[in-house]
């Protein structure tokens, strides 16, 4: 799979409105979860590098992803992480903060969602040319914080991540977020051995429906 540019990533994320986040503890469970997400209408997902065997998981998920879907690497910290993720088949990068990976990826026009929290960090990320700002951890302050950030940064593409439930997803989008990133509230235990994939399917469909209204 070929990496997408920041412009292309911004467009796709804005269209889809949900980025699924697979953390988990098991490669097989992560791959099975990704398959269910794709089947349920989630077209953009990231696999966190904190997963043991993350690069194998990225490679396997990229191999089964429909042509319309994007597979990214999450918790990307270093330039080496970017390079290894690309080799595994990741098409975009997601960072927890403004890590060294952000400057490298953005400089190569590799799509990146940069973690940020404060107004200063948001400005720094935007100046680096990222596709969008991953506001993390969003749960600490909620939708009104997103609304407040957009007052001085009306042009900012913001994606709240952290504790984004089905109900909060709608609220974040209503105040101006371009999309939401959903981890635990969406995945549940599905990315762990023996996890409930049927429940994941139901939640994924609900997220797609809620964010497309």
Annotated catalytic residue: which of 134, 167, 171, 209? 134
- Cα dihedral value 133, 104, 52, 62, nearest 10: 80
Is residue 43 left, alpha or beta, with left meaning phi > 0 and alpha meaning psi from -120 to 50?
alpha
The token duo for 39 is 């089947």
Annotated catalytic residue: which of 43, 46, 59, 171? 46
Beta strand extents in 99-198 (DSSP E only): 112-116, 132-135, 158-160, 180-182
Active site residue 127: no
Which phi and psi (to 5°) does residue 23 adopt? -100, -75
DSSP code, position 88: H
Q: How far apart are CA 211 and CA 44, in angstroms?
A: 14
Active site residue 15: no
Is residue 212 left, alpha or beta, with left meaning phi > 0 and alpha meaning psi from -120 to 50?
alpha
* Buried-exposed string 50-64: b where 16+ CB fall within 10 A, e elsewhere: ebebbbbbbbbbbee
Active-site positions read: 46, 134
């Amino acid at each position: 799979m070929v990496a997408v540019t920041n412009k292309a990533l911004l467009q796709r994320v804005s269209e889809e409105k949900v980025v699924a986040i697979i953390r988990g503890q098991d490669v097989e469970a992560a791959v099975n979860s990704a398959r269910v997400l794709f089947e349920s209408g989630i077209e953009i997902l990231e696999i966190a590098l904190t997963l043991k065997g993350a690069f194998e998981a990225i490679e396997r998920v990229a191999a089964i992803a429909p042509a319309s879907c994007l597979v990214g690497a999450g918790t990307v910290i270093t330039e080496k992480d970017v390079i290894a993720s690309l080799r595994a088949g990741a098409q975009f990068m997601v960072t927890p903060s403004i890590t060294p990976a952000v400057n490298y990826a953005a400089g190569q026009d590799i799509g990146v969602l940069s973690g940020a929290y404060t107004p200063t960090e948001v400005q720094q990320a935007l100046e680096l040319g990222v596709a969008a700002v991953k506001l993390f951890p969003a749960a600490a302050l909620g939708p009104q914080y997103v609304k407040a950030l957009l007052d001085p940064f009306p042009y900012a593409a913001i994606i709240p991540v952290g504790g984004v439930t089905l109900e909060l997803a709608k609220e974040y989008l209503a105040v101006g977020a371009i999309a939401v990133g959903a981890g635990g509230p969406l995945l549940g235990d599905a990315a762990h051995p023996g996890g409930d994939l049927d429940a994941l399917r139901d939640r994924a469909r609900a997220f797609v429906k809620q964010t497309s209204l």
